[in-house]
């Protein structure tokens, strides 16, 4: 497993180049950034150099396609997915992720059919560039009724959806917060094969009943109540060796400079990885 | 278009061999029967001869796989699908159909994901044997709330589902009753390409508000209020040239001998096809 | 069937806008042009207007992906396929075509495997935009040994390849010259379902033994020995209603202005369509 | 990695039940047997008990479908594949394998297209039952010209073919003999992800130039010149933890009772696994 950073939890970063520098400086090995933006900003060679000089690789890019609303919006996104996938490949990145909202204003079954077709299209084009596609189930209970109709939020449902999408390069983005808010245990991770996990998010939850944990009330790893030792050990036990990237979603931006927040993140990772014995 | 018969509406048939004889005798060109049963009963050569002597072909077999409940039930069905598909092929049949209940006791979105995977598996194995797979949307309003959660029932949703299934041999079973109870018009048929329609059911509806038309209160073609002239003309206009098979679902079995019911069906088909001008 | 023009046979056209004007002026209803170029040149609205004012639609775009050489070349092409497909869709075009060379310098079986994966990727992305993908088998005998190893060149092999690609939106581009040089007959067309044909090319062959007909020695329709009456009647008989586009490949550019060549093409189409009785 | 036995190398076994007993007795943990035969012979419960009592699991079943000749033969095989896959699943087996002959009497490219469609169909139906599908490339040089046209025989080509088949449950059967006769090294294994390997065969080659090693002149592990230490260490290094099953193909049946041959196999496995340090 490789420690990773995302922008979520680093405060007012100037841009993702700063994230790369802070990640490298503070012991992180991967960053979740926009490869296409990096290449647009610096060119392929300099973008590669920026990553290499800081000793980091791109853990995952975000999916630049909005598959949740109209067909036209989806098709607009698909136009640029090839460029984004090619940029990721050019910078050595092999992962792309998206999240699944647990409810929807569309009728549930119909939306599932449409979304299955759309995500398969994304998976197929990503696969052309050797990129795996991670789907993040989202656990917080308040989001299950946030929109009119229930969608899916459990790991089991998401695995079934991956089966429905039916492309070999699709797997889970496993986020500690959603694992926690779904009431999952280490055994649920241990039931997975490592190649079923594309990417991992690390964060922590406040000491409230699980049903009340808000999606944007996340804490830094080790500052909350999630059994991150069990989480990390289970991942190691099954042989997962990809990125474990911090993602701290909060209502207000965290206080402190990006530098201070990166240092804090490093300390948090040191603690929870240490507690897990590695 | 070729006139077809199914067992639904023929009363107390001894077996499907009798259906074949009655269909041939009364001017029908196709029958919806179980090809696997026919071959088991008569052997391939005699089954072929029975069809040929009566001047009929098999319009469609039914799907021998229950994809609506547990995984074990589904897997049990898949074991025999190859034999059924091979039997259909041996008797020259190129269609297999199943229907979609408009509601379900499973969570809607999750069930859609699971059912998509299952129906794709069916479509793939049927495709190996050159068989197209027709999905019948089911319109009656009372079935939309018959089980706990809404599923899908419109033609549009079904076309989207076919896209999600993603196999080239999947299309619609278009049933006049479901077309009627969905409030569809000739223009909705005219918007289709003929290869999107795998099979067609013909029947009629009582003179009640569309919302009150019960699934098992169907009438013989021409005896009710459905615009079958518009229905048939639209099918011909787009170039559909497959079977149009009678399917009369009723609460009580129809009165009369199979022979009399087949004669009645012939008269009904003569009337509605004549009214449509062909 | 709709008469169509391509640049091949029109001489020194300034650009494809001129082709559109000439096509409209001379009774053609479709043009094979680069939709992406058109939109880049004129903007979507003016490109639509240019087509509409001249009474033509785009019959097919060419595939902007080179799938025949290295993986890097293929991936470069895939980056822009989404934009090209979106442009085609924006201009109402639903077809994209590529041709298959009958021999290759790569080992035959391995190249077939690689090309299957690549063309499936193209088909999938085109399908996202509602575009069908036509594969043109290439019949001239001299090309079968032009490169080191035989590939495929018959209609039957191409249909099998389409089965291997396994996407529902893939079909044949049927070119009269390749139909002729493969020794095919009207019955071979009549054995097809219309949806198996994505696009059609019309041209003629010199009066030489079929084995000696060169790929770039084509004549205008009606000026050679191909049974174009049988060809067109078979297409109509099965219900093909898509474009039939002229494509005249020659060693030297044809003499005459584009205007004169378009007029000549119109006369040729009038003759062969007239001879076929429509 | 778990040591496994197949019938190839055990001499005149009465049946596969004897193989199961010998495997258990001599320290093997998996057997490659016909699950469908086992259940037919003993019933599901007794077949499970037979495996459990002998402390073995089924490593892989063989593919009961002949995909190398006519379409009718292929379709006959597909009819029973569901039953075989269900039997494998019922006995806890998750692998099915087939081998690829390096040459063919069919035209190479066309055969590749047809075989791609056929193997995809197999993979899809196996996948329904949670079974992975292993393709074994075959290295011996004499087989490359045994039939009229070259097909494929390298690991690289096979990986490309797996890409063309395009189903997530397809991977390699890696056989030490074919690894050797293809001139592959430990580094070639180390370049794989473990989930790309479905199954492994272990055996050895006589001390002849690689070009002269005959497919049916195989030796027991450790009795020949293959670098089995490098082979096994590379497999362990990448995290492969599936079966490693002995397969000794010889012109004449090996001398000795099945009991003696099983004991000998055990000694050979002890030696090569010991030499590899595990």
Q: Are strands A95-100 and C170-175 parallel, antiparallel or unpaired?
A: unpaired
Q: Do A160 and B114 touch (CB under 8 A)?
A: yes
Q: How many CB atoms lie within 10 A of CB D162?
A: 24
Closest approach of C68 to chain A, Cα-based (Å): 15
Residue C278 pLDDT class (50, 70, 90 cuts)? confident
Q: CA of D194: which chain A residue's CA is closest?
A: A195
- Decide if pLDDT at A37 tops 90: yes
Q: Do C167 and B169 touch (CB under 8 A)?
A: no
- The mean pLDDT of A75-97, rounded to a whole number, is 98
* Interface ipTM: 0.96
Residue pair A181/A205 in contact (Cβ under 8 Å)? The answer is yes
Closest approach of B86 to chain D, Cα-based (Å): 7
pLDDT for residue D210: 97
If you write DSSP's letter for every residue of B170-239 in order, what string do you get?
Answer: EEEEEEHHHHHHTT--HHHHHTS-GGGEEEEEE-B--SS-GGG--TTB-B-TTSSSS-HHHHHHHHHHHT
The reply to whether A75 touches chain B by the CB within 8 Å rule is no
- Decide if pLDDT at B152 tops 90: yes
Q: Do D114 and C150 touch (CB under 8 A)?
A: no
Q: Do D157 and C116 touch (CB under 8 A)?
A: no
Using an 8 Å CB-CB cutoff, list chain B residues near D86: 75-76, 78-79
Q: Do A149 and B108 touch (CB under 8 A)?
A: yes
- Decide if pLDDT at B244 tops 90: yes
Taking the C-alpha atoms of residue D16 and residue D116, their distance in angstroms, rounded to an integer, is 31
Q: CA of C120: which chain A residue's CA is closest?
A: A124
The reply to whether A166 touches chain B by the CB within 8 Å rule is yes
Average pLDDT, chain A: 98
- The mean pLDDT of A68-77, rounded to a whole number, is 98
Residue pair A84/A40 in contact (Cβ under 8 Å)? The answer is no
Residue B126 pLDDT class (50, 70, 90 cuts)? very high
The reply to whether A78 touches chain C by the CB within 8 Å rule is yes
For residue B224, what are the CA distances in angstroms to B34, B173, B180, B206? Answer: 29, 21, 11, 5
pLDDT for residue A177: 98
Q: Do C107 and D108 touch (CB under 8 A)?
A: yes
Residue pair D20/D30 in contact (Cβ under 8 Å)? The answer is no
Could you report the average pLDDT of every consecutive run of 10 residues in chain D (278 residues)?
97 96 98 98 98 98 98 98 98 98 98 98 98 98 98 98 98 98 98 98 98 97 98 97 97 95 98 95
Taking the C-alpha atoms of residue B2 and residue B232, their distance in angstroms, rounded to an integer, is 11
pLDDT for residue C219: 97
Phi, psi dihedrals of residue C100, rounded to the nearest 5°: -115, 115
- Decide if pLDDT at A278 tops 90: no
Q: Which of D127, D128, D168 to mutate to test binding with chain A, by most A CBs within 10 Å of its CB?
A: D168
Q: Do A160 and B107 touch (CB under 8 A)?
A: no
Residue A152: which CATH number?
Answer: 3.20.20.150
- The two three-digit tokens of residue D212, written as one number: 């002269």
For residue C170, what are the CA distances in angstroms to B168, C78, C199? Answer: 9, 17, 11
Taking the C-alpha atoms of residue B54 and residue A264, their distance in angstroms, rounded to an integer, is 83
The reply to whether D114 touches chain C by the CB within 8 Å rule is yes
Count of domains forming chain C: 1
The reply to whether C92 touches chain A by the CB within 8 Å rule is no
pLDDT for residue B127: 98
Nearest to A239 among D166, D168, D239 (CB): D239
- The two three-digit tokens of residue C201, written as one number: 């090319």
Q: CA of D171: which chain A residue's CA is closest?
A: A168
Residue C77 pLDDT class (50, 70, 90 cuts)? very high
Average pLDDT, chain C: 98
Q: CA of C102: which chain D residue's CA is closest?
A: D109
- Decide if pLDDT at B278 tops 90: no
Using an 8 Å CB-CB cutoff, list chain A residues near C168: none
For the segment D3-41, what is each residue's pLDDT rounded down to a tens digit? 999 999 999 999 999 999 999 999 999 999 999 999 999
Q: Are strands C243-246 and C197-202 parallel, antiparallel or unpaired?
A: parallel
Q: Do B113 and A164 touch (CB under 8 A)?
A: yes
Taking the C-alpha atoms of residue A237 and residue D45, their distance in angstroms, rounded to an integer, is 32
Chains touching D (at least 3 CB pairs under 8 A) are A, B, C
For the segment D114-130, what is each residue's pLDDT rounded down to a tens digit? 999 999 999 999 999 99
- The mean pLDDT of A201-207, rounded to a whole number, is 98
Nearest to C109 among D117, D151, D163 (CB): D151
Give the DSSP H or E segment for D188: helix D186-190
Instruction: Identify the domain containing residue D48 by its residue range.
Output: 2-275
Distance between alpha carbon B114 and the CA centroid of its chain, in Å? Answer: 23
Taking the C-alpha atoms of residue B25 and residue B76, their distance in angstroms, rounded to an integer, is 37
For residue A219, what are the CA distances in angstroms to A249, A263, C106? Answer: 8, 15, 56
- The mean pLDDT of A88-102, rounded to a whole number, is 98
For the segment A114-142, what is each residue's pLDDT rounded down to a tens digit? 999 999 999 999 999 999 999 999 999 99
If you write DSSP's letter for every residue of D21-54 in order, what string do you get?
Answer: HHHHHTT--EE---HHHHHHHH-HHHHHHHHHHT
Residue ranges of the alpha helices (H) in chain B?
A: 16-25, 35-42, 44-53, 71-90, 108-128, 155-165, 176-181, 186-190, 228-238, 258-275
List D residues 179-218 in contact with B (Cβ-Cβ < 8 A).
none
């Amino acid at each position: 497993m490789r420690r990773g950073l995302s922008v979520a939890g680093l405060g007012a970063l100037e841009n993702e180049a700063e994230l790369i520098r802070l990640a490298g400086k503070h012991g992180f090995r991967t960053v979740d950034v926009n490869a296409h933006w990096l290449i647009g900003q610096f060119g392929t060679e300099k973008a590669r150099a920026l990553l290499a000089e800081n000793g980091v690789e791109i853990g995952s890019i975000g999916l630049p396609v909005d598959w949740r609303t109209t067909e036209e919006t989806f098709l607009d996104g698909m136009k640029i997915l090839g460029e984004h996938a090619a940029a990721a490949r050019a910078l050595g990145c092999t992962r792309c992720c998206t999240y699944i909202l647990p409810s929807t204003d569309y009728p549930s079954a119909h939306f599932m059919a449409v979304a299955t077709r759309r995500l398969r299209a994304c998976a197929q084009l990503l696969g052309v560039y050797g990129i795996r596609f991670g789907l993040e189930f989202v656990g917080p209970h308040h989001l299950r009724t946030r929109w009119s109709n229930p969608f899916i939020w459990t790991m089991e449902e998401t695995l079934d959806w991956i089966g429905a999408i039916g492309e070999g390069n699709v797997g889970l983005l496993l986020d500690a917060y959603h694992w926690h808010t779904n009431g999952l245990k280490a055994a649920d991770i241990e039931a997975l094969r490592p190649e079923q996990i594309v990417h991992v998010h690390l964060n922590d939850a406040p000491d409230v009943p699980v049903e009340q944990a808000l999606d944007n009330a996340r804490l830094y790893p080790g500052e909350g109540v999630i059994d991150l030792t069990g989480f990390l050990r289970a991942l190691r036990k099954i042989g997962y060796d990809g990125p474990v990237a911090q993602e701290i979603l909060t209502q207000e931006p965290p206080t402190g400079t990006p530098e201070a927040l990166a240092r804090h993140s490093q300390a948090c990772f040191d603690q929870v990885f240490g507690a897990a014995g590695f």
